[in-house]
Amino acid sequence: MLQGAFSIWGRDMLVLRRSIFSELLAVVAYPLTLYLAFGFGLKGYISDVGGIPYPLFIAPGLISMTAVNAAFDESSWSMWFHRQVQRTIEEYRVTPVTVYDIVIGKILSGFSQGAIKGAVVFLVIMLCTPFRIDYSHLPAYVFCLALASMTFSCLGTICGTVIDKPENIGRVQSVVIVPLIFMAGIFFPLSSYPASILPVVRLLPTTAVFEGARDALLLGAVPTGYLINLVLSAALSFALAVYTFNRKMAE
Amino acid sequence: MTQAITLHEITKSYREFTAVARFSLQVERGTVFGLLGPNGAGKTTLIKILTTLMRPSAGDAFVEGFSVLSEGREVRRLIGVVPQENNLDRYLTARENLILHARLHGMRPAAYNPRIDELLEMTGLASRQHDFPDTFSGGMQRRLVVARSLVHEPRVLFLDEPTTGLDPQSRRALWEYIRGLRHTMTVFLTTHYMDEADALCDRIMIMDHGVSLADGSVGELKDAFSRAHVYEVEFRGDADGYERVLAGLPWVRSVERNGGSYRLTLSGEDALKPLIDSLAGADIRKISLKEPSLEDVFIALTGEKVRE
């Protein structure tokens, strides 16, 4: 069972291994730059947020952002590329593997990339900055991040499946993904929002990801509401990804 | 059961048009079957249905007794597919492409490694197995795709326009290879090259616009249309004026000009005398009967040259 999915995942990991250095260099540069620019550049203006030093406030979000972005990128572009350019999805589809194997394999690949890249950014921030955590909080944080990466990997798979023009994937990232991420409390507390829209913002899956991840890493526990949001988002996005891929292949 | 492939009343329709209409076919096990027709005839649609990439609008198809509709997974265990476009994974080496295919078929290393070694030797790619397909010539890529389709020892091999885009030398090399596969498996190929169908196939079906037009061995088709009555007429001097005259004759099905000579397909053998009568007084250098090629068969069936 799922042998086909693991074969496809294995292929993606082999390809990642070949270009791991350049991939990690690229993926580390952006969040590290943001951390240094905002965490240290603004330190003189923003000393703390709710009692948490500002660099410590933004670090978990940057690590989470790296992980979910990597998961989305890998799933969306990989699915698109294999479908539209290389047409290797057709090669997979004339073997005994099922449609579910293919989509699960791609989701696993996105999730793995998110996990690896998030972990590397975490290590780099730990090494290069005074950011420090209580390591007993790591399991809760990793669990939160795993659910988030799964969700974004599924969303990436959906995009890579339904979108035929590559520029439209970039547009989805610019118009949907990045705003959802940046407005979910990475750089500022949610209390900055007007009280009238705060309940809506709290319901967003990205809020659950970034606020939940911060609480997990700094306080050791994910608030129940966010945890339920994360689990439901992961489950729903997975079901939608499988349905979308199945339907596209049937077309 | 001796039928490797059966198509029963297959129809594939889209909103605006019908690609294949009530198409039926049986292919005997261990033979090389060719589906011949111009671009847009419906050949790739049929292959996609047989390889479970597409569902028909109506009808069913069976590969080694397994239905493509209800037993797709079983069908895919038995088939190898060489698609029209090379869909090699450019981020994997030649060998890794074959290994991935083997794993997708559930093969273990002890089974697939020797098989891959054998196939790489047979296709002349052993020395390049650790290179990436982007560095291969078109012919080498095609051979790799064929090798990939054979890793799991399929019982039925589908080749969709296998030599399109290849240079003549690579085409002939691939033909030799395909000839070597006959009797070890059933081969179903589509092509719009007459010479390819002629060279490879035990049996040919000619199709266009989603329907079958003729079916038989190469020899049978040519014999049936040996009275397709293709004549070559060569005129002395200025031959310009004859084209319109010839095309206007009711028993001339088609006229093809090549410099000073015309290739005429007549409606029947009794059209020869009226033709000679019509050309009485014309300055004819030569008039000869042409043994029909498959192209002539196609023109006789459709009244058109093959669309490229």
Beta-bridge partner residues of B190: B35, B160
User: String of b and e for B111-132 (b: at least 16 CB within 10 Å)?
Assistant: ebeebbeebbeebebeebbeeb
SS3 content of chain A, % helix, strand, coil (to 5): 80, 0, 20
Helix axes A54-80, A99-128, angle to 10 degrees: 150
pLDDT tens for each residue of chain A, 251 residues long = 688 999 999 999 999 999 888 888 888 888 888 888 887 777 777 778 878 888 888 888 888 888 899 899 889 999 999 999 999 999 999 999 998 899 899 888 988 988 888 888 888 888 877 777 888 888 888 888 889 999 999 999 999 999 999 999 999 989 988 888 888 888 888 888 888 988 888 888 889 998 888 888 888 888 898 999 999 999 999 999 999 998 888 77
Q: Which pair of structure tokens corresponds to residue A214?
A: 């911060």
| Sign of the dihedral defined by the CA atoms of residues B89, B95, B101, B106, in that order | negative
How many CA atoms are closer than 13 Å to the CA of A16, on its beta-carbon side? 22
What pLDDT was estimated at residue B105? 96
Q: Is B241 on the interface with A (CB under 8 A)?
A: no
Residues 24-53 of B with CB under 8 A from A: 51-53
φ/ψ (deg, to 5) at B199? -75, -30
Cβ atoms within 10 Å, residue A194: 7
**Three-state DSSP class for residue B237:** coil
Asked if B103 and A3 come within 8 Å (Cβ–Cβ), the reply is yes
pLDDT above 70 covers a percentage of chain B that reads 92
Residue linked to tokens 């261990």: B30
First and final C-alpha spacing in chain B:
37
C-alpha pair distances (Å), B225 with each of A73, A111, B220, B273? 59, 62, 8, 19
Q: How many beta-carbon contacts under 8 Å exist across A and B? A: 58
Asked if A96 and B55 come within 8 Å (Cβ–Cβ), the reply is no
Q: How close is the nearest chain B Cα to the Cα of A177, in Å?
A: 28
Check pLDDT > 80 for residue B308.
no
Q: Which pair of structure tokens corresponds to residue B182?
A: 């006959």
- Summarised one tens digit per residue, pLDDT across range B129-183 is 999 999 999 889 999 999 999 999 999 999 999 888 888 888 888 888 888 887 7
Residues of B in contact with A86 (CB under 8 A): 87-90
Q: Is B106 on the interface with A (CB under 8 A)?
A: yes
Model confidence at B190, pLDDT cuts 50, 70, 90, reads very high
First and final C-alpha spacing in chain A:
26
CA distance B66 to B72: 8
pLDDT above 90 covers a percentage of chain A that reads 33
pTM for the model stands at 0.83
Best mutation target, A6, A11, A18, A95, to test chain B (most B CBs within 10 A): A95
Q: What is the separation of C-alpha B123 from the centre of its chain, rounded to a whole number of angstroms?
A: 22
Q: Is B276 on the interface with A (CB under 8 A)?
A: no
Q: CA Rg, chain B, in Å?
A: 23
CA distance A223 to A217: 12
Beta-bridge partner residues of B203: B33
Asked if B52 and A93 come within 8 Å (Cβ–Cβ), the reply is yes
Q: Among B73, B81, B104, whose Cβ lies nearest the Cβ of A7?
A: B104
CA distance B162 to B168: 13
Which H, E and C letters describe B83-130, residue by residue?
Answer: CCCCCCCCCCCHHHHHHHHHHHCCCCHHHHHHHHHHHHHHCCCHHHCC
